[in-house]
Amino acid sequence: MTALLIDGKAAAQALRERVARAASELRQERGVTPGLAVVLVGDDPASQVYVRNKARQTLDAGMASFEHRLPADVPATTLMQLVAELNADPAVHGILVQLPLPSQIDAEAVLRAIDPAKDVDGFHPINVGLLAVGQPRFVPCTPLGCSLLLKAQRPDLAGLHAVVIGRSNIVGKPMAQLLLAEHCTVTIAHSKTRDLPAVVCQADIVIAAVGRPGMVRGNWLRPGAIVIDVGINRIAADTASGNRLVGDVNFDEALQVAAAITPVPGGVGPMTIACLLLNTLRAAAWATQWALPEAVR
Ligand SMILES: NC(=O)c1ccc[n+]([C@@H]2O[C@H](COP(=O)([O-])OP(=O)(O)OC[C@H]3O[C@@H](n4cnc5c(N)ncnc54)[C@H](OP(=O)(O)O)[C@@H]3O)[C@@H](O)[C@H]2O)c1
């Protein structure tokens, strides 16, 4: 068997186009432009790249982008003051504080300070709770992207056994909630799970969100499984650039066993920012009590 490649780039582009069309309708009907504020503290190179990409794609979707850069040694009170100003700014519908934050800042306190109605990352405890009780408002962007890719592949997931490897608040836990809402039987595995290969081989759906290059081997997979590889790991390569990105799944091995698989790069990654734009559109729609078009519901 050679697995079907799930094209996250194409899916993300299609989603961004749907979001851009809806944003344009919102502007025409209500005179409102969805606005996303991104706060970057410090000069972490990877975060700078993410923030630049987010700003570009926000503008490309016809939305307003507000970027706030603060030095790495900024006092926590200054950051909190900025969050309070963004909470109060009617032009800002979504707020994202880029993680990780420097050690002098309590990241949990900052996330809790964001107005839950503007929390487009879906990390505020209120939004986490709403997802847990089956009334999702803002769902974290990476698991939301995984779920959209999965459902495009297989619209009805009811009864399937999904194994989520990883239990972070950003990926693993919300992913498990989304799969449960789709009526999957869900197993969450983590670093203390005993005999992980034996757990994974029961899965119809495998979500790998670990951060260990190529950890999930082909012979762990049940033939015909759908594999969503969230991992982004930079490893040494023989190319001129000196390194390349790989996922948490041994791609070449999995290709021979799985029914469908997301590549790294070009799988889950592009969906994450597209889902951030979707959440920002939703925030603007709710703030103005505008009914979202079917295509972006
Ligand atoms: N595509 C995207 O847009 C995107 C977005 C976010 C993250 N990512 C990538 O996804 C990966 C996971 O991210 P994250 O933020 O969830 O990472 P994280 O917070 O470090 O969590 C990793 C999870 O993997 C588990 N784990 C570690 N070693 C394991 C092992 N040997 N066997 C089983 N489980 C193990 C950990 O278990 P414990 O809880 O027991 O420690 C933890 O729950 C990373 O590669 C990250 O770069 C990609």
Strands 243-246 and 233-236: antiparallel
Determine if ligand 1 sits within 6 Å of the CB of residue 149. Answer: no
Determine if ligand 1 sits within 6 Å of the CB of residue 167. Answer: yes
Give me the amino acid identity at 239.
T
Catalytic residue, from 57, 118, 121, 177: name it: 121
Q: Which of 96, 169, 210 to mutate to test the pocket of ligand 1 (most atoms within 8 A of CB)?
A: 210
Query: What pLDDT does 243 receive?
Result: 87
Per-block mean pLDDT, blocks of 10 residues, the chain (297 long): 95 98 98 98 92 96 97 97 98 97 96 98 98 97 98 97 98 98 98 98 98 98 98 86 91 98 97 98 97 93
Instruction: Say how many Å lie between the CA of residue 77 and the centre of ligand 1.
Output: 30
Question: Which is nearest to 270 in space by CA: 98, 43, 57?
Answer: 57
Instruction: Say how many Å lie between the CA of residue 210 and the centre of ligand 1.
Output: 3
The answer to whether 54 is a known catalytic residue is yes
Instruction: Say how many Å lie between the CA of residue 1 and the centre of ligand 1.
Output: 28
Instruction: Say how many Å lie between the CA of residue 211 and the centre of ligand 1.
Output: 5
At 153, list the tokens: 């592949």
Query: What pLDDT does 237 receive?
Result: 83
The answer to whether 48 is a known catalytic residue is no
Supply the DSSP string of 201-250, one letter for each residue.
TT-SEEEE-S--TT-B-GGGSPTT-EEEE---EEEE-SSTTSEEEE-SB-
Q: Residue 268 CA: which ligand 1 atom is closest?
A: 1
Q: Residue 172 CA: which ligand 1 atom is closest?
A: 16
Catalytic residue, from 57, 98, 204, 248: name it: 98
This prediction has a pTM of 0.97
The partner residues of 4 in beta bridges, in order of sequence, read: 260
Q: Residue 267 CA: which ligand 1 atom is closest?
A: 1
Q: Which of 175, 190, 220, 228 to mutate to test the pocket of ligand 1 (most atoms within 8 A of CB)?
A: 190
How far is residue 217's CA from residue 219's CA, in Å, rounded to a whole number? 6
Strands 226-229 and 161-165: unpaired
